[in-house]
A = this chain, B = another copy of it.
Amino acid sequence: MTTLHSPEETQRLGSLLFQGLGASEAEAELATAELVKSSLLGHDSHGVMRIPEYLGFIEDGSLKTGTTIETQQTSPTTAEVDCGYGFGAVGATAAIETGIQIAREQGTACVITRNCNHVGRLGSYVTTAAEAGMVAIATCNSPSYGHHVLPYGGREGRLATNPIAYGAPTTGNPIVADFSTSVAPEGKVRFYRNENKAVPDGWILDSDGQPTNDPNDFYGPPKGGILPMGGTVGHKGYALGLLVEILGAIFAGVGSTSTEVFGNGVCFIVLNTNSFTQAETFAQLMSDSADYMKSSAPAAGFDEVLVPGELEFRNLAQRKQTGIPIDPATWQQLVDYATKLNIPLDG
């Protein structure tokens, strides 16, 4: 049975587990905080269930502890952040902070990562930028082993689910959008397969390039693919996915068929609102614009119009009260690691 846990307790436990496998306190705290925050916002797939996964990565050597982040500025406004295959969240946090600092002085910035493990919820970093008065656009690719997504008109995967996120300041909670450029992430197709259910129309093709609702047709063998977002205008989702590949791989000098890298290729574009209209004016007009979006009467089947990120901030308020749901498999893994590392479950 899924159980509810306080975010503070989960933070303590996750951090101690990472430290138990050699992480510094600082990196353990930051990496855990990112995952706990994702769970609080309702993104369980990028949340606490990743703690045992990351612990496994430390054990198999693909996630290094105690790494130093090396930031190389490559022009007055661009930088490459070598994450040394440490915690992705630590590298991505360094990258967005570098971008914010450059944009504060120069107006704009573009920062990419190298050797970066799973960064978690991309929306987190653009939220940080929005809270610093920046509009930030973030993209994140994965190398060829993650190429589950079909190019428009094709039946062989050529791109990963390649999410795009952006954030913008308002007078209250920032606008935060974060979505894959495929119609669905691979994890959702897996969920349908595990539940023995048919996936919705327009999600996947089988290996012959025919539409199918059977999630097993995606996994094969022979393998099918997930469609780019857009349905009949899927060329748009394909174009967006390719843009994410350009910013995450080609900018880093990594070819799309490379098998030498793993993890996420992240790109942050940071734009200082103060370099155009004043930051205060921007925030006020952005809030007004959000109100205008929300003032639309709802369509059939909807209760209201939301702005990007609004649902997550509602989840945050609720889950701060009720706690974070942790599924039984994840909890058992946490218990097993705690036992093995001699860490008490209660602080």
Contact = CB atoms under 8 A, between A and B. Distances in A.
Interface in A167-191: 168, 175, 177, 179, 181, 183-184
A206 B89 CA distance: 45
B250 A297 contact: no
Interface of A: 74-78, 80, 105-110, 112, 135, 137, 150-159, 166, 168, 175, 177, 179, 181, 183-184, 200, 202, 205, 208-211, 229-233, 235-240, 242-243, 245-247, 249-257, 269, 271-273, 275-277, 281-282, 285-286, 288-289, 292-300, 302, 304-308
B302 A77 contact: no
Copies in the complex: 2
24 contacts: A74-B107, A74-B275, A76-B107, A77-B106, A77-B107, A108-B109, A153-B305, A155-B296, A157-B296, A158-B293, A166-B239, A166-B243, A177-B239, A177-B240, A179-B233, A183-B232, A200-B232, A209-B297, A209-B299, A230-B237, A242-B308, A251-B282, A253-B281, A269-B271
A283 to B, nearest CB: 9
Contacts of A292: 158, 256-257
A297 B297 CA distance: 44
A298 B154 contact: yes
Given A107-B110, A239-B177, A276 B74 contact: yes
B78 A286 contact: no
Give the interface SS of chain A, mostly helix, strand, loop or mixed: mixed
Given A75-B272, A239-B308, A256-B288, A155 B298 contact: yes
B276 A308 contact: no
A275 B179 CA distance: 28
